Amino acid sequence: MSELRIESISKHFAGVSAVNNVSFTLEQGSIMGLIGPNGAGKSTVFRMVTGVHRADAGHIFFEGKEITGLPPYTICQRGIAMTSQTTLPFMKMSVLQSTMVGSYLHCPKAADAKKDAFAILEYLQLDGQWNKLVADCNIADRKKAELARALATRPRLLLLDELMAGLNPQEVDMILQKIREIRDDKGITILFVEHLMQAVMSISEKVVVLDHGELIAMGTPAEVSRNEQVITAYLGKNYHAEN
Per residue in 177-193, pLDDT tens? 999 999 999 999 999 99
Q: Is the pLDDT of residue 241 over 60?
A: no
Domains of the chain are 2-79+155-242 (3.40.50.300), 87-153 (no CATH)
Q: How confident is the model at residue 117 (pLDDT cuts 50, 70, 90)?
A: very high
State the pairing for strand pair 31-35/189-193: parallel
Helix (H) or strand (E) run with residue 6 in it: strand 2-13
Q: In degrees rounded to 5, what are phi and psi of residue 163?
A: -65, -25
Burial 29-52 (b: 16+ CB within 10 A, else e): ebbbbbbbeeebbbbbbbbbbbbe
